[in-house]
């Protein structure tokens, strides 16, 4: 049996029961059921496994051990309550994780790569997962190959197969059958492999393998690569290690002192269990994921689709944005504004023939050329029929030109269009006047193309050695987008430097950059060809003053990103073409344009559906809001937990009876953290969020100020409630003293949560503070009902007694003290 690369077109159609018209939609559906979805299968957890995983953590093991001991000691009611609280916490985590997973899956669907197939004789765009065996697929420059495909037609096709072979140099492909046997993968010139990238040209082929049966799928099955840890996870792990060392140190001291003091071993053990329960905010990782997911959903509503969730953490920390010009800063809706020619007929011919656009479809610049020709009354369709193309050299990002050979009046004409600097090197005619006009156009902010030709005997072996006559220049107007100038000013205030990295002429780039305030007096504009003259240190120092890099190559963009990262910068990069892929891939935040190539969207961490710099700056703002909400929830959970530990420890060291029962501590976690922490995801943005300088991701969540704030909040809550407990022991029974401390601590933690919502004093703008997070009021309302039930419906289960109206005055007093002390701290240290 012949191998796939040996078959002729007819044999391929016969083997896969397909044709040039492709599959029918009904047949495609049938084959998807047969062969499965065209995707590398993720390891999915069952709902049951997700449920049981909620109980797979050291804290739950400790609680289960405590439950076993209480049963052994004959205290079955306590054991039942501990078991019930474990179950409630597990259920809360379970439903929260299901919701988060559903949101992530919907985001994945929104960002799925698309492919072009022929079905029922018509070209259609479908999600890559819906491509199946026997489909006829069309690939063009910038596409990611959607499946393993055997070519049946192609032209000038170059494919980068680094993902499969490790070789970064693009490989030439064609559709002719190969007669040899046992041809290795890298020599199969008529086969395209899933995940590789089309660099130039186009191809049509038939799908012969999908999903895990593709070559990349076979590799993926053998090697499951773990995603790198996000900065937030690293910071939490680092903090957790220090926290646990501190905690075990404190518990060791308590154990030793307890034995010396002759404390009851059962009560001592339950105290240690209580402190462990207080110390570990087990819901923190899930709450952070919840905040990130809610943030990603909010970003999607603002035209930014998140592909890689941890990228949201670093979004607000961006210090540099390397932005494209066309379509991001400018409209991308080009129109011919000015022309200069010495041979009008040849200028029209080159514009029509050295052009891959077809009517409304194609590169915006080439589409604009065709519209200009139509406005001039020139029939470019007839010209293409009359003068057929016999050879092409697709646009080269390094040489900045495109060329074709067409038969014109029985002669071979080489037609070239591209950057004036590139064509000037090839010109045999005088270019002084062209250069003068070119500079005048560029200084107006026009994007300028040069056009030339020569008569050749055969297709050229090297385009760089060809000599041509330049016949004209065309200047394209591409006005700045609305809102970009304001976005640039916002980014500048936020401490973010925007550098326009473009392939355009330096004069055009500077003129456009000036219009949108990217380039200001004293800034530097650098020509891409000059970058290699600088050492890394010199270039980094230069970038601090640079706002435009013109005539930049993909290699230049890549170097800029890596250089900035090595110097500790967080870099966001925008891109839409296959040439942007290397920079997008290595950037901290690779942001692809929604209208860009599939290759760019495939490697990017985010996709913006509205190609506009203002959307990117707005996304950075959202990133800062999300990061600040995570910071706030970390403060809230840690200060509440540490406050409980300090209260218990200080009571113990003062030889007082325990102010809280272990059951009460578990209950506190349900009615405070359990109802409040999830609401932090819905905090409204603070007014001055974009007036702050960016911070490193790890500093955003755990810096000196955060740790001091946690210590202050915890100490305040512990001290106030310790004083209340000491007073209550003198004035009332032990049961009432415990109940007062129990209820007061809960109310104080609610107050701490409200104060954590805003960085500025709560009373500075009371109306704004109340509106800052309405969901928190709902959460606390639920908590209040639960606590009232604990006091008046089943107090005996909580070792509590019902409080009188006058007793509530003590709870109110401690809450007022906590509120105004936190308020005063904000005023003093702001």
Give the pLDDT score at 96.
Answer: 64
Residue (of 395, 323, 270, 332) closest to 664 by Cα position = 270
Residues 6 or more apart in contact with residue 813 via CB below 8 angstroms? none
Of the given ranges (241-245, 278-282, 469-473, 654-658), which has the lowest mean pLDDT?
A: 278-282
- The per-residue pLDDT for range 678-695, each reduced to its tens digit, is 899 889 888 788 888 888
Instruction: Return left, alpha or beta for 449; rule: phi > 0 is left, psi -120 to 50 is alpha, else beta.
Output: beta
Measuring CA to CA, how many Å separate 301 from each of 307, 453, 585, 671? 14, 49, 25, 32
Q: Which residue reads 């065309």 in tokens? A: 474
CB atoms within 10 A of CB 649: 19
In angstroms, the CA 52 to CA 50 distance is 6
Q: Answer whether residue 283 shows pLDDT above 50.
A: yes
Helices (H), 161-230: 162-165, 215-222
More confident residue, 87 or 283: 87
324 a catalytic residue? yes
Dihedral sign (CA 127, 133, 137, 143): positive
Q: What is the pLDDT of residues 770-827, one digit of tens each?
A: 999 999 999 999 999 999 999 999 999 888 999 999 999 999 999 999 999 999 999 9
Closest CA to 737 of 721, 748, 716: 721
Q: Which residues on adjacent β-strands are paired with residue 340?
A: 473
Cβ(550)–Cβ(509) below 8 Å: yes
Q: Is the pTM of this model over 0.75?
A: no
Q: Of 28-42, 244-258, 446-460, 480-494, give the lowest mean pLDDT range.
A: 244-258
| Residue 665 Ramachandran class (φ > 0 left, ψ -120 to 50 alpha, else beta) | alpha
Q: Is the pLDDT of residue 131 over 50?
A: yes
Are β-strands 571-575 and 589-593 bridged in parallel, bridged antiparallel, or unpaired? parallel
94-108, 384-398, 427-441, 777-791: segment of lowest average pLDDT: 94-108
Q: Is the pLDDT of residue 528 over 60?
A: yes
For residue range 157-205, list pLDDT tens digits in order. 888 887 676 565 678 899 999 988 888 887 899 999 998 888 878 999 9
Range ranked top by mean pLDDT from 102-116, 189-203, 750-764: 750-764
Instruction: Give the pLDDT confidence of 578-606 residue by residue, as tens digits.
Output: 778 888 888 988 898 877 777 788 888 88
Q: What is the mean pLDDT of residues 428-443?
A: 94
DSSP string, 151-174: EEEEEEEEEE-HHHHS--S-EEE-
pLDDT of 226 above 70: no
Residue 222 has pLDDT above 60, yes or no: no
549 with 526: CB under 8 angstroms?
A: yes
Active-site residue, from 143, 148, 324, 677: 324
Question: Percent of the chain at pLDDT above 70?
Answer: 91
pLDDT value at 223 more than 50: no
More confident residue, 650 or 662: 650
């Amino acid at each position: 049996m012949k191998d796939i690369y040996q078959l002729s077109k007819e044999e391929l159609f016969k083997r896969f029961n397909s044709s040039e018209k492709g599959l029918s939609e009904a047949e495609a559906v049938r084959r998807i059921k047969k062969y499965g979805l065209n995707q590398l299968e993720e390891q999915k957890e069952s709902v049951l496994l997700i449920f049981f995983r909620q109980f797979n953590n050291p804290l739950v093991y400790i609680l289960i051990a405590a439950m076993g001991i209480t049963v052994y000691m004959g205290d079955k009611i306590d054991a039942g309550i501990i078991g019930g609280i474990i179950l409630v916490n597990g259920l809360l985590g379970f439903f929260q994780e299901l919701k988060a997973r559903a949101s992530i899956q919907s985001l994945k669907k929104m960002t799925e790569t698309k492919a072009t197939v022929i079905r029922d004789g018509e070209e259609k765009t479908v999600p890559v997962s819906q491509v199946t065996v026997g489909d006829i697929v069309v690939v063009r420059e910038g596409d990611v190959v959607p499946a393993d495909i055997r070519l049946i037609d192609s032209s000038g096709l170059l494919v980068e197969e680094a993902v499969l072979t490790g070789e970064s140099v693009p490989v030439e492909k064609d559709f002719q059958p190969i007669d040899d046997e046992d041809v290795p993968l890298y020599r199969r010139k008529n086969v395209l492999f899933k995940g590789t990238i089309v660099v130039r040209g186009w191809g049509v082929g038939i799908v012969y393998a999908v999903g895990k049966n593709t070559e990349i799928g076979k590799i993926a099955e053998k090697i499951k690569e773990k995603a790198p840890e996000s900065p937030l996870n690293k910071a939490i792990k680092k903090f957790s290690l220090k926290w646990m060392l501190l905690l075990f140190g404190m518990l060791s001291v308590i154990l030793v002192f307890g034995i010396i003091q002759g404390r009851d071993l059962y009560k001592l053990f339950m105290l240690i269990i209580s402190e462990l329960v207080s110390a570990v905010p087990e819901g923190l990782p899930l709450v952070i994921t919840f905040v990130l997911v809610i943030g990603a959903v909010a970003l999607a509503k603002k035209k930014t689709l998140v592909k890689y969730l941890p990228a949201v953490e670093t979004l607000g920390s961006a210090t540099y944005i390397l932005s494209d010009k066309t379509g991001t800063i400018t409209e991308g809706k080009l129109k011919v504004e000015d022309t200069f020619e010495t041979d009008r007929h040849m200028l029209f011919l080159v514009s029509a023939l050295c052009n891959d656009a077809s009517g409304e479809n194609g590169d915006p610049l080439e589409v604009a050329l065709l519209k200009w020709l139509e406005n001039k009354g020139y029939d470019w369709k007839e010209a293409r029929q009359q003068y057929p193309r016999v050879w092409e050299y697709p646009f080269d990002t390094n040489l900045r030109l495109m060329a074709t050979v067409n038969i014109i009046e029985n002669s071979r004409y080489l037609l070239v269009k591209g950057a004036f600097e590139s064509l000037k090197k090839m010109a045999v005619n005088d270019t002084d006047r062209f250069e003068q006009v070119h500079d005048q156009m560029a200084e107006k902010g026009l994007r300028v193309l040069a056009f030339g030709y020569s008569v050749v005997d055969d297709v050229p072996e090297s385009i760089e050695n060809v000599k041509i006559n330049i016949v004209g220049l065309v200047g394209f107007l591409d006005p700045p987008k609305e809102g970009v100038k304001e976005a640039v000013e916002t980014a500048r205030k936020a401490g973010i430097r925007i550098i326009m990295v473009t392939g355009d002429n330096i004069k055009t780039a500077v003129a456009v950059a000036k219009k949108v305030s990217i380039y200001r007096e004293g800034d530097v504009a650098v020509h891409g060809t000059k970058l290699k003259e600088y050492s890394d240190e010199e270039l980094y120092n230069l970038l601090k003053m640079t706002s435009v890099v013109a005539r930049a190559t993909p290699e230049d963009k890549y170097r800029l990103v890596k250089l900035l990262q090595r110097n500790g910068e967080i870099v966001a990069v925008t891109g839409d073409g296959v040439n942007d892929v290397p920079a997008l891939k290595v950037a901290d935040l690779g942001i692809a344009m929604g209208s860009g190539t599939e290759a760019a969207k495939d490697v990017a961490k985010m996709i913006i559906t509205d190609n506009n710099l203002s959307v990117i700056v707005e996304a950075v703002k959202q990133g800062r809001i999300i990061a600040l909400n995570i910071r706030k929830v970390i403060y809230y959970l840690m200060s509440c937990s540490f406050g409980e530990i300090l209260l218990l420890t200080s009571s113990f060291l003062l030889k007082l009876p325990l102010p809280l029962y272990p059951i009460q501590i578990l209950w506190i976690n349900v009615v405070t953290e359990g109802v409040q922490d999830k609401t932090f995801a819905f905090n409204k943005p603070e007014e001055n969020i974009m007036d702050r300088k960016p911070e490193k991701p790890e500093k955003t969540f755990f810096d000196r100020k955060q740790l001091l704030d946690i210590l202050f909040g915890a100490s305040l809550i512990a001290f106030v409630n310790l004083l209340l407990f000491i007073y209550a022991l003198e004035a009332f029974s032990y049961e009432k003293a415990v109940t007062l401390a129990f209820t007061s601590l809960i109310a104080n933690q609610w107050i701490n949560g409200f104060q954590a919502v805003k960085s500025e004093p709560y009373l500075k703008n009371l109306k704004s503070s109340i509106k800052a997070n309405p969901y928190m009021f709902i959460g606390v309302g639920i908590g209040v009902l639960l606590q009232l039930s604990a006091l008046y419906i089943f107090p005996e289960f909580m070792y509590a007694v019902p409080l009188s109206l006058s007793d509530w005055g003590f709870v109110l007093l401690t809450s007022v003290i906590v509120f105004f002390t936190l308020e005063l701290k904000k005023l003093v240290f702001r």
